[in-house]
Structure 1
Amino acid sequence: MLPTVLVVGGTGAQGAVVVRLLSESRRYAVKVPTRSTASSQAVALTDLENVCLIEADVFSEGDLMRLFTNIDMCYINTNGFAIGEKNEIYWSIRMHNIARFCGVKHFVYGGLEYGSKKVGFDPKYRCSHVEGKGNLQVNFLASQSASPMNWSVLCSGPYMETLSEMFKPRKDETGSYVFEYPLADGAIPLICLKDLAAYALWMFDNPEKCRGLNLAVATQHASGEDIAKAFTSVTGKPARYEDVDLEEYLTKSWKDLPNGAETKIGVNFAPNDPTLMTYRENFRGWWNLFRASAGNKGLLTGDYQQLDEILPTRIKTVAEWMKKSSYTGEPQSILKDRVDRRIVAETD
């Protein structure tokens, strides 16, 4: 009998990579709840060894009680863009409590952006999809005993793969690739998804080493200049970084949403919630965090020596990732919510 891992968010960009690596390890039986086993994201997992899809609503206490029963471990990655900050905090705490009640041995929380503890509350850096997870990992889990149910947090920054989507370059009239970000001289702690999944596997393989651990993972704190130079060094194509106005960038980035950048995050899940932030408000704080994180010395910092010790084979630079992934700079859909530009009430 293989130990069983429940992966909440297993059909999303992050969760699906975790599910695949758990399957490839052949050391775990994996259960993945989904609203529809017929969705394209769910169907993509059906041929994986030791993976079972279960139709369920992870925002239902009854379904959660059923899902966590007879489960050894779990990986939780909720989607704050679908449900909003307040609901993400509530349901993450509820999942933790139900998992403990049901006798789960190891609760691994897939967090996001590891600057919350250092930032505290500051409207300049206010970002709902950071604080929804950050409040759970910094404030709630840190106050919980790591016994008898062990808990660990796997904290990450933006996915390296979004260099083909959210962070993709444009071509100018000369054919040069232009990486345009409202980043100034800051840095983005990008993480390669395959390595993120490898850290998750390490946590399940080494529960005692990560008891009560909040692990911040990243490939590189990359500046705009770092990204452009890496692209040219790998592809041989001319590229440059251009700092752009934040408000204009936000207007352009989210123009396809129902109300553009003024669309509220989580509005379909909680249409009357007055605490919901707009995409403009949310990503204004997000970019301000990156602006204040240059050189791994600002608000968002990580211990790369620790990461090397845990995963010696990890990808260490943007250039290395571009080379290994045959990156071309051409657009590609990565994040589920941005594939069809709809705001969906579904976990990531």
Structure 2
Amino acid sequence: MLPTVLVVGGTGAQGTAVVQLLSESRRYAVKVPTRSTTSPQAKALMDLENVSLVEADVFNENDLMRLFTEINMCFINTNGFAVGEKNEIYWSIRMHNIARFCGVKHFVYSSLEYGSKKAGFDPKYRCSHLEGKAKVADFLASQSTNPMNWSVICSGPYMETLSDPFKPRKDENGSYVFEFPLADGAIPFICLKDLAAYALWMFDNPEKCRGLNLAIATQHASGEDVAKAFTSVTGKPARYEDVDLEEYLTKAWKELPNGAETKIGVNFVPNEPTLMTYRENFRGFWNVFRASGGNEGLLTRDYQQLDKILPTRIKTVAEWMEKSGYTGKPQSVLKDRAERIAD
């Protein structure tokens, strides 16, 4: 029988990529928990080889005990936007503890990193959806890798978000305009296909990644890098425009009930006093990337290490655009951004 991998968050953008590649490898059976096996995201996985779906609530102790029984490995990507930072930390740690109790052999956690720690916890860089996952990675670093091995994949914004929400607009002259409040910073984008490939490498090579926190990215891309890549691949004129951060945040989250002042995770815990607003959260988010230009500053990557692990990885924005057929056309990548309850 094939070893079984439980993929928490398997119906999201990241999880779907991981499930698909695990299935394509034909080396693993994959179990995906979901609140509804009839959702469009769940249905898209049903026909994949060696993939099964199970209705469960991953924020419920009884369901977690059932999910982690009789599996060999797991990939955990919790949804901090749905539950808020404090609950993401709590439930991620409980998942680790329950998995270890149930005899899981390898616990792979999908994390992010927080710039405020590297900046002496400067609140200017505080971003709850980065920090929640990063604090779980800090917890894992204090845990033994026996009897349950653990590994961390530390990623960043998906390259695919250049289709939504970071899609370009067309100006009156037909030029494509990429607007970010990035100044001269850079975003360590990662394409989802390669993120999944690093996860597969971890499951295939548990000893090589025992206790490893692997920070991955395709390229530290500035706004200028993105615009130039677009022109080089499509032949269409493009430019980058730095925009005012506060105006950008107001516009980006205008569809939410209280706009950018809506609190992250409010549907899960309505009276939680620690929740950040979208404005507060993404102010820190963009400030972190503004301070990471040129693979220096707050967020850095060891690209030589990444080349060694995955020689076939996509290495630039332009290469991703060419191989993915990117045209700048809007295309939904993430789940509905107004949806605040996790699957």
Give the letter aligned to residue 207 of structure 1.
P
- Answer whether contact 1:152 1:212 (CA < 8 A) is retained: yes
Match of 1:344 in 2: 340
- Answer whether contact 1:116 1:130 (CA < 8 A) is retained: no
Match of 2:136 in 1: 136
The alignment of Structure 1 onto Structure 2 pairs a total of residues equal to 343
1:111 to 2:107 alignment: no
Alpha-carbon distance between aligned partners in 2 of 1:337 and 1:80, rounded to the nearest angstrom = 14
- Answer whether contact 2:116 2:123 (CA < 8 A) is retained: no
**Fraction of identical pairs, as percent:** 84
SS in 2 for 1:31: strand
The alpha-carbon deviation at position 116 of structure 1 amounts to 6.2
Alpha-carbon distance between aligned partners in 1 of 2:105 and 2:119, rounded to the nearest angstrom = 31
Give the letter aligned to residue 185 of structure 1.
D
Unaligned runs of 5+ in 1: none
The alpha-carbon deviation at position 133 of structure 1 amounts to 0.1
Give the letter aligned to residue 32 of structure 1.
V
Unaligned runs of 5+ in 2: none
Question: Structure 1 residues 205, 45: CA separation in 2 closer, same or farther (over 3 Å shift)?
Answer: same
The alpha-carbon deviation at position 166 of structure 1 amounts to 1.5
Match of 2:180 in 1: 181
Match of 1:300 in 2: 299
- Answer whether contact 1:115 1:301 (CA < 8 A) is retained: no
Match of 1:100 in 2: 100
Match of 1:291 in 2: 290
SS in 1 for 2:207: coil
Give the letter aligned to residue 332 of structure 1.
Q
- The C-alpha deviation readout for 1:238-293, integer Å capped at 9, x for no partner, is 00001110000000000111111011100000000011000000000000000000
- The C-alpha deviation readout for 1:147-191, integer Å capped at 9, x for no partner, is 110000001000000000011111110000011110000000000
The alpha-carbon deviation at position 112 of structure 1 amounts to 2.0
Match of 1:8 in 2: 8
Alpha-carbon distance between aligned partners in 2 of 1:242 and 1:11, rounded to the nearest angstrom = 34
Question: Structure 1 residues 43, 158: CA separation in 2 closer, same or farther (over 3 Å shift)?
Answer: same
SS in 1 for 2:74: strand
- The C-alpha deviation readout for 1:39-76, integer Å capped at 9, x for no partner, is 00000000000001000000000000000001100000
Mapping of residues 227-266 of structure 1, within 5 Å: 227-266=226-265
- Answer whether contact 2:179 2:241 (CA < 8 A) is retained: yes
The alpha-carbon deviation at position 337 of structure 1 amounts to 3.0
- The C-alpha deviation readout for 1:288-325, integer Å capped at 9, x for no partner, is 00000000011000100000000000000000000001
Alpha-carbon distance between aligned partners in 1 of 2:127 and 2:40, rounded to the nearest angstrom = 30
Give the letter aligned to residue 72 of structure 2.
D
SS in 2 for 1:336: coil
- Could you tell me the TM-score, scaled by structure 1's length? 0.97
Give the letter aligned to residue 179 of structure 2.
E
